[in-house]
Structure 1
């Protein structure tokens, strides 16, 4: 069976399947990359059907060569689509191929902890053994009727794991899941878990022959998250509370009292520092060093107090106790690293979180990390996304990924944007720095809502502006019959479901620029309020800019602009999801017309009719 024959078989398995030449061509390209052991960069716009393209290629490659393939996504939504929708179809054709999903360890319950602490925290469970026997995989979603902080007390954790010495080892949810991965031919997971396994742990995948990164435009963001370690007061506080809740029967009142006093002092210092920090900022010795030294001393006291009680715990509780102390020591090392500032490739920065400050250290040397830990370990790596290039030029993403040589391919969209969509640039919205900006955007949204009476997505670049505009427009929108949602009021998955049941307008930032898949009349208009440039004052962005300037490069043109264009393409792509979709993309930032770089944004889009209008002249006719 070859790729053409597989897609012929697919047409009989998938309802309303449309044969797409670009999809078949992409599948053949992916297969060739695997055969030749190459790195590939493939930009496949919405409508190509890239997930079926690489699933078919992967399945055929496994069947013919008995290799191991890992598919890594950035979002849970795409993982759900692959596991629940796409892979079941593929399995009807490739019946002997074994698929599985790899989750992080923290998603599994630890049976030892469950039995040890059941009487303390699970009073509603009469028979713990029977309860666990009814669980399929022991994952967090099977415990969703409990509060999240309760699951935190029983989740699997590397530091507290007894491994083969654990009385529950043979029946361990986590190790059984890892054992199943050894037998799997194709594994679906997320970017972060791949990085963790390749760079640090090495306990998940025995060997990977081919690695496919879908949603590859997010790799830099996910690497930034992975490469950041933090001293987080609230994480540490939760660890202590969880530990005390399960050992309260030991009556260690003196330790509890001492720990509470120390943590109260820690919080006071972090609150005081937060009062002089605006959002996120680079660490500055002039105002932060004295706070840091006091926090460091308090952390040392915390470690000392706990270690003094280590002989008062039994062996099993001692494992959890040691894990807690190890975490305290890691936080201590983070604070000591802040004081020494001894790693040139890292940025040391403070982040305002709730009422305190977090101390963060981020390694920025992503390209070298990948060159050292990824490419030498895998025969072939495929990076794919709807947005990887700027006008079919992959130079930016190659620089981010540390790629010197790769096979590059850009597919044209399957959609006819000329007949399906129109881009309207509104040229009389005041500058975002102007006090009247939120009023102008609110007026624009209401003008659109009065005419379109269909699902609308409004994309912002900051929560501050989103909240301002939402407060100004929500009441009028509700009077017009809209269900009005804003990001943060509910989880993203449930908000998407609302789109299918009502006339909805959704105010979103960040994650809603991508990964939201609403088809038909449920989404007929996307309003982009502002070009999505990163905040240049964020310490990570400042550090990246500084590194580029040291190399003699223009940070705005060679980095900031490229990132903004890729995100702009993602936002634009929310509207047209099928060949039957129609609607409007409305751009409220006229810099695409007035700035020299505006052409780069517009030239990155598929061929679409563009009009320029004032707000008061807008006329939206979906029946055109």
Structure 2
């Protein structure tokens, strides 16, 4: 029994990762745990026989002086070996600690240690599937495990021991069926977690606890849905005068400061909701925009027993609305707000699909791990929203298979999270959704949207991008090859051979049909490969832009593709689909007689037919339907052909799409567009025109009082090289030097914003190689793994951190308070002239005899610039520096317009050296002020 099992929890600090290259141990700690109590601890410094590298000293706080009098590993080897006997070896990443230790035992002349091992990284991923990070320090913070000195073996080993215990407690809290399912699948894991699961099972089977919060879908345990009811409430009146508003706010929030802009916004929204009219509001940070629209919306919905729908662009903003802003409104109004979060179908798990895939054999390690994570998550989630999960890259492919889509079968409401959300929204005062869902569901005609009386479209400038994304098609060679690979031939281990075996076993389908189907499949794959070779051949005429550059792109219209060949791929696919469907028909009559594991194969076969139908539509869309309203281009990387082929098709102008969607709504409901940036100097209707908003819809501009920005400083560095005058290498060296000096002056907490992914990567690589910021956490979009949101959350967790991002990072990112001290703008955020969407739009404007720079390029760049500054000051207490390294802001005539778009703050122009001194001075003052505030709070 595991209860009296002995665990040896081990942590090592070393001079590096490779004992073979001479890396050695500098500290070891072993915690012995029995019956979930710590019995004894062994910890010792070890002399590595060589100096400790500086960055390891920084990481671990272990210096050469600490190990000067320590003994080498050989002197401790026997004692350590003895401690590990009859124990299960536990570490946070056993691959590293155990293999390092085995090398050291070998060097000391001891035999290889043999025994079971448990990796707490692997275990935590399974039992805490929604954790943002599986680093020991992050898990310790999340689970309230004390860890004062991370990267010191003694503290780390103890924290790892408590983590193991937390995992055990978590395991015992899961439903019995979940633990059974976990145990069944756990034999493919890398470490002996199955042993732990088996022991938990023995205990769970003996206990007779009722699982009140759980419902069952066949063999899956799901968390019961919390019941929401609509209570009767006393009517709420809208506070019409300033005095009424002050009374309402101050009753509930004693420290409330009046913001005239916020009150103006509330009045305007109240008026337009009641008149069912349209309005645009540009509200700078500091207005209190979210409360400004939530309050009138809630009062309107409750007074009229109607619904108001709020749509935002980023998931982050959705979460913020629910977690912090709505509770404030409930507090101010003294009532509960019935709110439902609605996302697009594909965000929700399809429980039936997951249950089918549970029975798959021959799963990869990533798939197995992800299945275990989903099993645990289903017993906890109330939303079924897959974005809650933190899975590996390989796991993401599995997650895509269990998403709900339009083909998903209707399930009983209690197991269908999407239907649940729709049903809950019928009781709601507010529906919160995102632009993508809104655009998709207006088209899909979800009846829920008929009962909405008012629409608040927040981050309105992003509605354009959402409409583009909805209409874009992306073809990738690798994705198509993956889809072909799933079917395979009769000689493979893939689905075709399994399906054929099932059909023949049940004697339902003549074998000739399978021979025929296989021939059609081979013809299809053959034609597809020919079409790809044709693209590669055509692209040879287009040279990469820069020296040493391996990526190329060309508009589809610039290539002379063989249309006959493109059509034949489409026909071949249609032919395969028709026969594949005909074969399924043979099963239909006798499906009840087919054994369960065979049924799963048939269902998978049907799933892939649906996928092939989506694919053939995509092929026709990309290669066979050309239209002047879309731009289509091909991207390749010459180092990887045909593997890197991508074709992207995007709409050039989405004004008509948006009008088509929203005109029916305009007839019966209010539409309020709001954002921090809807206008630019000299062109206040830049966004309105792209959204196709009528010229007579008013634009209300609200700016926070100057006092709000008192903590902001802007600097323009005057001695940066001109990118045109020096080589790219020299320019990047100057940028890297400037960044490292600024980061050191502000102690991190810094965003660095680039316009080119290539320059970002080269700058980050140079900084890493130089080790000038080795004691900082560097997160870089496109370099560090993870989505934009995950990078942002990781960045916020560390005080010494720097986040490098490109244009897409400039928008919709919110880092309040101390988490951000400086924003560095490396280049003014103009779109690259070669970026195909931008190029297509520019060409269109030029063909109409207009100026693409002043009408498109400049206003877009100014909007992004405003967005970049907007990241910095998110409250009147925030302090931050905004630093521009691009000389064009001074040397070009349009530079003034960028500066005009900033609030009225102090802007200083200085050489780098002086600017860094100023920033250090400013930052030290900031620290002093903070200490003063802390003292006063005490």
Q: CA–CA distance in 2 between the matches of 1:342 and 1:479? A: 50
Question: How big is each residue's C-alpha offset from its partner over 1:140-185, in whole Å with a ceiling of 9 and x where there is no partner?
Answer: 2466568222232232221x2344xx6x467433223222223322
Deviates more, 1:84-93 or 1:209-218: 84-93
Deviates more, 1:378-387 or 1:202-211: 202-211
2:736 maps to which residue?
442
Question: Superposition pairs for residues 16-27 of structure 1, below 5 Å?
Answer: 17-27=256-266
Question: Superposition pairs for residues 128-277 of structure 1, below 5 Å?
Answer: 135-141=381-387, 144=390, 147-158=395-406, 160-163=407-410, 168=412, 171-202=415-446, 205-239=449-483, 249-251=498-500, 259=521, 262-263=524-525, 266=528, 269-270=531-532, 273=535, 276=540
2:711 maps to which residue?
420
Question: How big is each residue's C-alpha offset from its partner over 1:438-470, in whole Å with a ceiling of 9 and x where there is no partner?
Answer: 122112113323433242211101110011111
Q: Compared with structure 1, are the counterparts of its residues 14 and 483 closer, same or farther at alpha carbon in structure 2 (3 Å cutoff)? A: farther
Question: How big is each residue's C-alpha offset from its partner over 1:447-506, in whole Å with a ceiling of 9 and x where there is no partner?
Answer: 323433242211101110011111222355655743222123144334334334322222
Q: CA–CA distance in 1 between the matches of 2:251 and 2:909? A: 46
Question: How big is each residue's C-alpha offset from its partner over 1:522-559, in whole Å with a ceiling of 9 and x where there is no partner?
Answer: 32221101111112222222221122223332111011
Q: CA–CA distance in 2 between the matches of 1:180 and 1:238? A: 38
The question of whether the paired residues in 2 share the 8 Å contact of 1:299 and 1:328 is answered with: no
Deviates more, 1:513-522 or 1:437-446: 513-522
Question: How big is each residue's C-alpha offset from its partner over 1:572-618, in whole Å with a ceiling of 9 and x where there is no partner?
Answer: 12222222222321111121212121111111111122222222443
Q: CA–CA distance in 2 between the matches of 1:400 and 1:476? A: 45
Give 5+ residue unaligned stretches, structure 1.
none
2:569 maps to which residue?
298
1:390 maps to which residue?
680
1:455 aligns with 2:455: no
1:590 aligns with 2:874: no
Alignment equivalent of 1:2, drawn from 217, 230, 238: 238
1:549 maps to which residue?
846
Cα RMSD of the aligned pairs, angstroms, is 3.4
1:603 aligns with 2:900: yes
The question of whether the paired residues in 2 share the 8 Å contact of 1:91 and 1:97 is answered with: yes
1:72 maps to which residue?
311
Question: Superposition pairs for residues 511-530 of structure 1, below 5 Å?
Answer: 511-530=808-827
The question of whether the paired residues in 1 share the 8 Å contact of 2:282 and 2:677 is answered with: yes
Q: CA–CA distance in 2 between the matches of 1:323 and 1:303? A: 16
Does 1 or 2 have the higher relative contact order (CA < 8 Å, sep 6+)?
A: 1
1:359 aligns with 2:635: no
Q: CA–CA distance in 1 between the matches of 2:747 and 2:821? A: 9
The question of whether the paired residues in 2 share the 8 Å contact of 1:23 and 1:48 is answered with: yes
Deviates more, 1:29-38 or 1:147-156: 147-156
Deviates more, 1:20-29 or 1:201-210: 201-210
Question: Superposition pairs for residues 325-340 of structure 1, below 5 Å?
Answer: 325=609, 327-336=611-620
Question: Superposition pairs for residues 402-413 of structure 1, below 5 Å?
Answer: 402-404=692-694, 405-413=696-704
2:159 maps to which residue?
none
2:187 maps to which residue?
none
The question of whether the paired residues in 1 share the 8 Å contact of 2:752 and 2:805 is answered with: yes
2:764 maps to which residue?
470
1:46 aligns with 2:294: no
TM-score normalised to the size of structure 1? 0.88
Question: How big is each residue's C-alpha offset from its partner over 1:507-532, in whole Å with a ceiling of 9 and x where there is no partner?
Answer: 11123313333344432221101111
Q: Compared with structure 1, are the counterparts of its residues 32 and 580 closer, same or farther at alpha carbon in structure 2 (3 Å cutoff)? A: same
Q: CA–CA distance in 2 between the matches of 1:131 and 1:523? A: 32
Q: CA–CA distance in 1 between the matches of 2:690 and 2:432? A: 24
Deviates more, 1:410-419 or 1:371-380: 410-419
Question: Superposition pairs for residues 302-381 of structure 1, below 5 Å?
Answer: 302-313=573-584, 314-315=587-588, 324-325=608-609, 327-336=611-620, 342-352=626-636, 355-378=643-666, 379-381=669-671
Question: Superposition pairs for residues 496-535 of structure 1, below 5 Å?
Answer: 496-497=792-793, 498-535=795-832
How far is the alpha carbon of 1:72 from its aligned partner?
Answer: 0.9
- The count of corresponding residues between Structure 1 and Structure 2 is 618
2:788 maps to which residue?
492
Q: Compared with structure 1, are the counterparts of its residues 304 and 572 closer, same or farther at alpha carbon in structure 2 (3 Å cutoff)? A: same
How far is the alpha carbon of 1:331 from its aligned partner?
Answer: 3.9
SS at match of 1:250: helix
Question: How big is each residue's C-alpha offset from its partner over 1:283-332, in whole Å with a ceiling of 9 and x where there is no partner?
Answer: 34564503x65454334323322422323334487777566445534543
The question of whether the paired residues in 1 share the 8 Å contact of 2:552 and 2:636 is answered with: yes
Q: CA–CA distance in 2 between the matches of 1:135 and 1:479? A: 40
The question of whether the paired residues in 2 share the 8 Å contact of 1:525 and 1:583 is answered with: yes
Q: Compared with structure 1, are the counterparts of its residues 504 and 151 closer, same or farther at alpha carbon in structure 2 (3 Å cutoff)? A: closer
How far is the alpha carbon of 1:60 from its aligned partner?
Answer: 0.9
How far is the alpha carbon of 1:571 from its aligned partner?
Answer: 0.5
The question of whether the paired residues in 1 share the 8 Å contact of 2:238 and 2:296 is answered with: no
Give 5+ residue unaligned stretches, structure 2.
1-236, 489-493, 502-513, 545-550, 592-598, 927-938
The question of whether the paired residues in 1 share the 8 Å contact of 2:757 and 2:806 is answered with: yes
How far is the alpha carbon of 1:78 from its aligned partner?
Answer: 0.5
Question: How big is each residue's C-alpha offset from its partner over 1:379-421, in whole Å with a ceiling of 9 and x where there is no partner?
Answer: 2111111111113852211210111221211111245377422
The question of whether the paired residues in 2 share the 8 Å contact of 1:7 and 1:24 is answered with: no
2:30 maps to which residue?
none
The question of whether the paired residues in 1 share the 8 Å contact of 2:570 and 2:620 is answered with: no
Question: How big is each residue's C-alpha offset from its partner over 1:63-104, in whole Å with a ceiling of 9 and x where there is no partner?
Answer: 222222111111111011011221233334363542101111
TM-score normalised to the size of structure 2? 0.60
SS at match of 1:356: coil
Deviates more, 1:315-324 or 1:412-421: 315-324
The question of whether the paired residues in 1 share the 8 Å contact of 2:810 and 2:867 is answered with: yes
Alignment equivalent of 1:105, drawn from 311, 320, 345: 345
Q: Compared with structure 1, are the counterparts of its residues 272 and 472 closer, same or farther at alpha carbon in structure 2 (3 Å cutoff)? A: farther
1:429 maps to which residue?
720
Question: How big is each residue's C-alpha offset from its partner over 1:15-68, in whole Å with a ceiling of 9 and x where there is no partner?
Answer: 965442322221221111212222211111112221111110110111222222
Q: CA–CA distance in 2 between the matches of 1:238 and 1:596? A: 51
The question of whether the paired residues in 1 share the 8 Å contact of 2:311 and 2:438 is answered with: yes
Question: How big is each residue's C-alpha offset from its partner over 1:245-294, in whole Å with a ceiling of 9 and x where there is no partner?
Answer: 7786424686679747844763575377356465574534564503x654
How far is the alpha carbon of 1:9 from its aligned partner?
Answer: 4.5
Q: Compared with structure 1, are the counterparts of its residues 260 and 607 closer, same or farther at alpha carbon in structure 2 (3 Å cutoff)? A: farther
Q: CA–CA distance in 1 between the matches of 2:252 and 2:850? A: 52
The question of whether the paired residues in 1 share the 8 Å contact of 2:633 and 2:836 is answered with: yes
Alignment equivalent of 1:87, drawn from 307, 323, 326: 326
Q: CA–CA distance in 2 between the matches of 1:572 and 1:131? A: 38
Deviates more, 1:424-433 or 1:263-272: 263-272
Q: CA–CA distance in 2 between the matches of 1:566 and 1:522? A: 23
Q: Compared with structure 1, are the counterparts of its residues 119 and 324 closer, same or farther at alpha carbon in structure 2 (3 Å cutoff)? A: closer
Q: CA–CA distance in 1 between the matches of 2:249 and 2:518? A: 62
Q: CA–CA distance in 1 between the matches of 2:866 and 2:907? A: 15
How far is the alpha carbon of 1:231 from its aligned partner?
Answer: 3.2
